A and B are shown apart, each in its own frame.
Chain A
Amino acid sequence: MLNAIWMGMIVLSFAGALMTGNLTALSKAAADGAQNAVTTALLLLGAMCLWLGMMNIAREAGVTAWLSRALSPLIRRLFPEYAGEKAVHEKISMNLAANMLGMGNAATPFGLAAMDEMQRLSGGYWPTKGMVLFVVMNTAAFQLIPSSVVTLRAAYGSADPYDIMVHIWFVSLGSLLLCIAVCKVLERFTWKS
């Protein structure tokens, strides 16, 4: 799937640039994009080291165990194949908590750690149901505190920058629930055992 999408993006850009005469801009964009990727990786590197370091302390101190106990009814229902796996529960719960608090920088390192743990358990060349559901949930992240958008609206002189919060909860929760439902339906069609 990613192979086809990636090829499609590049070929489509070339075709589009031919039609609009943007070829110079396109070649510059390719070079800039590769450079930006390195910057992004470096930013991610800092966040990864910081939050995985903090997670190591939190794990030893029992903070993650406490959090995963609190969220485990939810996690067990969503990821039944990892029902007994404490390490997976801890990392998923850290990711969910970071997402809800709007700590985007921390959610990714925790999420990657959760994926590593799930892959370690399952092995093989195919992602598990749980891994797919987990990634799809992260593409539809639900935020309790959408701090960046409120800050930006206030900066542009909004009279009430908070007045969209309820809408954001409604829309993001709605699309998250739909994502989960779609995954649960597709699981039945693609895993026949």
Chain B
Amino acid sequence: MEVLGAASVCAVLALIAAVGYVKGLPVFDLFTAGAREGLETALRLLPTLVGLITAISMLRASGVLELLCGALRPLTDAVGVDPAIVPLALLRPFSGSGSVSYVTELYAQYGADSDIARLAAILASSTETTFYAAAVYFGGRGFRSIRYTIPAALCGDCAAVVLSIVSLRLFG
């Protein structure tokens, strides 16, 4: 599977270079000209990334997530879901690497085929890091507001939590 993902990247790289060359294009010159645009974009994003990643890092270190998990305990008990999923549901929209390391901890602790590990794997793979994506795509553009981006995206994140529980109950 890792091979399949890696293969698609390599195949796309080789295909584009080969098709361009066969068509008689100066492929390397085109590549470097395009790559120069990347420089500008990445530098424009640096202030956005410093602001956001610092805030996320603080949020994770502060212990606020653990406090929230405790507060949500009655809810998970009522629905009959393992409370170990709550930290992931809260962490997922903020931090991609944080979610992966939490899921890995669950694999190590309960086994990769346990119910909670499967639920976590499904939830973590079914959404993106919402706040990071919103900040990266809108960062440095000088907009006054990003309108309803965050509420709409969070609707999707909540739906993913509900759907992953439902999906496992329906299809096992």
Instruction: Kindly list chain A residues whose C-beta atoms are within 8 Å of the C-beta of B27.
Output: 57
Known: A54-B31, A112-B41, A182-B152. A30 touches B54 (CB 8 A): yes
Task: Please indicate which of the listed interface residues A126, A127, A135 has the most CB atoms of chain B within 10 Å of its own CB.
Answer: A135
Q: When chains A and B are docked, how far (Å) is the Cα of A175 from the Cα of B156?
A: 5
Mark contacts of A104-125 with chain B using CB atoms, 8 A cut-off: 1 yes-contact digit, 0 otherwise.
0110110111011001000001
Q: State how many residues of chain B have any CB contact under 8 Å with chain A.
A: 100
- Report the nearest A residue to B32, measured CB to CB: A53
Within 8 A of B (CB), among A37-83: 37-38, 40-42, 44-45, 47-58, 60-63
Cross-chain contact A54 with B16 (CB below 8 angstroms): yes
Cross-chain contact A139 with B156 (CB below 8 angstroms): yes
Within 8 A of B (CB), among A164-184: 164, 166-168, 170-172, 174-176, 178-179, 182-183
Cross-chain contact A22 with B62 (CB below 8 angstroms): yes
Q: When chains A and B are docked, how far (Å) is the Cα of A138 from the Cα of B58?
A: 25
Known: A37-B53, A57-B30. A20 touches B62 (CB 8 A): yes
Q: When chains A and B are docked, how far (Å) is the Cα of A88 from the Cα of B1?
A: 32
Cross-chain contact A179 with B107 (CB below 8 angstroms): no
Cross-chain contact B137 with A135 (CB below 8 angstroms): yes
Choose from B15, B32, B33, B133 the contact partner of A139 (Cβ within 8 Å): B133
Cross-chain contact A1 with B62 (CB below 8 angstroms): no
Q: When chains A and B are docked, how far (Å) is the Cα of A46 from the Cα of B20?
A: 22
Q: When chains A and B are docked, how far (Å) is the Cα of A164 from the Cα of B114?
A: 12
Cross-chain contact B54 with A33 (CB below 8 angstroms): yes
Known: A103-B8, A119-B141, A167-B168. A179 touches B156 (CB 8 A): yes
Known: A41-B45, A145-B5. A57 touches B58 (CB 8 A): no
Chain B interface (Cβ < 8 Å from any Cβ of A)? 1-2, 4-6, 8-9, 12-13, 15-17, 19-20, 23, 25, 27, 30-39, 41-43, 45-46, 49-64, 66-67, 100, 103-104, 107-108, 111-113, 117-118, 121-131, 133-138, 141-153, 155-157, 159-160, 163-164, 167-168, 171
Chain A interface (Cβ < 8 Å from any Cβ of B)? 1-2, 5-6, 9-10, 12-17, 19-20, 22, 25-26, 28-30, 32-34, 36-38, 40-42, 44-45, 47-58, 60-63, 101-103, 105-106, 108-109, 111-113, 115-116, 119, 125-127, 132, 134-136, 138-141, 143, 145-154, 156-164, 166-168, 170-172, 174-176, 178-179, 182-183, 186, 190
Q: Can you list 29 residue pairs at the A/B interface with Cβ under 8 Å?
A: A13-B55, A26-B62, A40-B49, A48-B38, A48-B39, A50-B35, A50-B38, A52-B37, A52-B41, A54-B34, A58-B16, A58-B19, A63-B16, A103-B5, A126-B145, A135-B133, A136-B149, A139-B129, A141-B127, A148-B100, A149-B121, A156-B108, A157-B111, A161-B1, A164-B121, A166-B171, A167-B168, A186-B147, A186-B151
